[in-house]
Copies of this chain bind each other. A is one copy, B any other.
Amino acid sequence: MARTIGSNGARTAEAIRQAGVKLIYKHGYEAMSLRQLAAEVGLQSGSLYKYFDNKQTLLFDIVRDHMEDLLGKAEADLAGIEDPLARLRVFCAFHLRYHMTRLAHVFIANMEIRSLDEAHRAVVVGLRRRYEGLLEGILRQGAAQGVFEVREPKVATYAIISMLTGICMWYLPGGRLSQDEIVDTYTALVIGGVTGGAPLQPLAAPAELPEREKPARRPASLPKAART
């Protein structure tokens, strides 16, 4: 790609960022060379140093910004929702949709933490902890209210996040399943997992169960995002 005439600094910076995400996603951080990156945006590799201090900070910037974005948007989506089950549904839906939309960033943030040096890794791990904390909080709250049945909220958090994040290993836009179907499938697995499983054939004896029990597990008032 040749240099766009009239490009300015900010535009170039953005182009570098995007090309960086693309190439790290495709080849891995170690395997991506700055020459490749420079070629992708139509620069000489030396010129990249006007836009970052070194390769490492490019990676760090990408990952940190992504994590902050992820965290911020998750918090925004959860804001105002109290019910743990609803919060869990929202979290799942958010996480899945975000991952399906920003495959590359998400993949990088998961795979390249190892490539960050000590100090940078600490920052990113901190952000990840906070993000995991959101889910862990939901699980603990639900357990405390007797809605969820989770023995080890920390372990369950890791487990669920691994499950949901795993989508970026296989999902490709335009596949057989819609995002909604995928969200439903995953969410069912998560909800089932933490509620310890609904009766398989509730049809047989729904009335025998207390009225509030089942509706409570799939309330009519699902948050919109979880509906799709």
Contact = CB atoms under 8 A, between A and B. Distances in A.
Interface size class on chain A is 35 or more
A114 B28 contact: yes
Chain A interface mostly: helix
Contacts of A210: 204-205
Q: How many copies does the complex hold?
A: 4
A209 B39 CA distance: 64
A51 interface: no
A197 B217 contact: yes
Interface in A172-197: 177, 179-197
Contact of A159 (B90, B158, B185): B185
A150 B228 CA distance: 18
Nearest to A195: B197
Interface string A25-39: 001101100000000
A226 B89 contact: yes
A158 B170 contact: yes
Interface string A64-81: 000000000000010001
Nearest to A210: B204
Nearest to A114: B28
Given A149-B200, A158-B169, A162-B165, A223 B189 contact: no
Task: Name which of A81, A86, A225 has the most chain B CB atoms within 10 A of its CB.
Answer: A225
A160 interface: yes
A200 B115 contact: no
Contacts of A200: 146-147, 149, 195-197, 213, 216-217, 219
